Structure 1
Amino acid sequence: MTCRLIAETELTDEQDAQLRLLLAKAFPGRAAHFRQQSWWLARPQWRLILSDDGVPVAHLGIERRRVGVGDEDVYVAGVGHVCTDPAYRGRGLGLDLMKHLRAVLPAPYGLLTCSPAVQGFYESAGWVEVGPGVTMTNVYTGETIESFTHPAMVLGDNFPSGRPIDIRGLPW
């Protein structure tokens, strides 16, 4: 297994096609979308990819952004599109990916939202739930969306938790 951090601008067409295939397999409910593009809402700036013989088997996207936490501005590395190929699950690759993420985190904190079903995985990797919720703004429509059903989680020490978080854009 090899792990590489690749800037979005340096992805080749072949790598993008491989990531689209991986994401479609990992997120079958959104497979049609991922067959068209390798990100969901906000396009990541970097990809952290674990590969087996050159084929991506685990992945996450990273976008560095200044967000609002209460009345404070905080730089975070927004993390999304976290997945492992279903054929490779149960081997600890997700935790390996999180270890690599700590080494390359381009901001003082990692920030993500997740479904309650996978919250335990993130906690086992050192992420901590913060709250009370996350506000997102659709930069195309100006619509504000509040999420209180998907826990907001942070990687890093001394995050100013307990205040509302505005990610100032689309979710990553």
Structure 2
Amino acid sequence: MTSEDPIRIETLLADDIDEPLARSVSELLCRVWPKPGRTVETRVEQFLAERGVYQGPPEQAPRSFLIREGSKPIAFSSILSRTIRTEAGRMTIAGLAKVCTDPEQRGHGLGEKIVRAALAPIDDGSFPLVLFQTDVSVQPFYEKLGSRRVENRIVNSLADDPEADAFWHPVIMIYPKEAQWPEGTIDLQGPGY
């Protein structure tokens, strides 16, 4: 992508993602975040399984954000709606997931643009905050965008081992940094993202 190209960010609901798009995004995700057992096929299945499932308020519907070069996905992010259990009670928040930029396209500001798109539903009041995990090396990037690190233990009471960590990255963050956030253990009431 050159500096003269306009950057267009597409907003996609789960039902907007058909099999060819799911496949091309899954290929990007697998290149950027290779994980044992997470193949292009398993990721495609996950995208397609999310179609027609969400039943909540439209402004909190899970959505993805996509930047393409031609028809090729080069940056992607998603938010999902998650009701978590905290020591202060239940909260419906956004979860930030699947943030990636094609390695060949890094250094052009696409990561910031795709994350800012995902944060817009928090900025417009659709969610009180977003909770996500990341690596130490990426923490300053998210801090620059207005996030802060939190130290809560994150579990999934619905897992086979309900006391195990639900997140696998060492840094847990929320956005915006000034959001009210409870102390104590956070139960995602579902798998990590």
Structure of higher RCO (CA pairs closer than 8 Å, 6+ residues apart): 1
Q: Which has the larger radius of gyration?
A: 2
- Distance change (3 Å), C-alpha of 1:39 and 1:82: farther
Cα distance change on mapping 1:40 and 1:142 into 2, 3 Å: farther
Match of 1:123 in 2: 143
Gaps of 5+ in 1: none
Using a 3 Å threshold, how does the CA distance of structure 1 residues 169 and 99 change in structure 2: closer, same or farther? same
Deviations 1:88-113 (A, max 9, x none): 11111111112212223442111101
**1:161 deviation in Å?**
3.8
Distance in 2 between residues matched to 1:18 and 1:31, nearest whole Å: 19
Structure-2-length-normalised TM-score: 0.76
How far apart are 1:3 and its partner, in Å?
Answer: 0.7
More strand by share: 1
What one-letter code is carried by the residue in structure 2 that aligns with 1:95?
Answer: E
| Coordinate RMSD, CA, aligned | 2.7
- Structure 1 residue 38 and structure 2 residue 46: aligned? no
Whether the 8 Å CA contact 1:58–1:83 is kept in 2: the answer is yes
| CA apart distance, 1:142 | 5.6
CA distance in 2, matches of 1:21, 1:148: 22
> What stretches of structure 2 of length at least 5 have no aligned partner?
1-6, 51-61
Indicate conservation of the 8 Å contact 2:134/2:169, yes or no. Answer: no
Counterpart in the other structure of 1:65: 82
In structure 1, give the amino acid aligned to 2:102: D
Give the C-alpha shift of residue 19 in structure 1.
0.5
Contact 1:131 1:164 survives alignment (8 Å): no
TM score, norm. by length of structure 1: 0.84
Q: 1:11 corresponds to which residue? A: 17
What is the distance in 1 between the residues matched to 2:45 and 2:15? 17
User: Matches of 1:151 and 1:142 in 2, distance apart?
Assistant: 21
In structure 1, the partner of 2:57 is none
CA distance, structure 1, for counterparts of residue 79 and residue 68 of structure 2: 17
How many Å separate the matches in 1 of 2:163 and 2:46?
14
Distance 1:6 1:111 in 2: 20
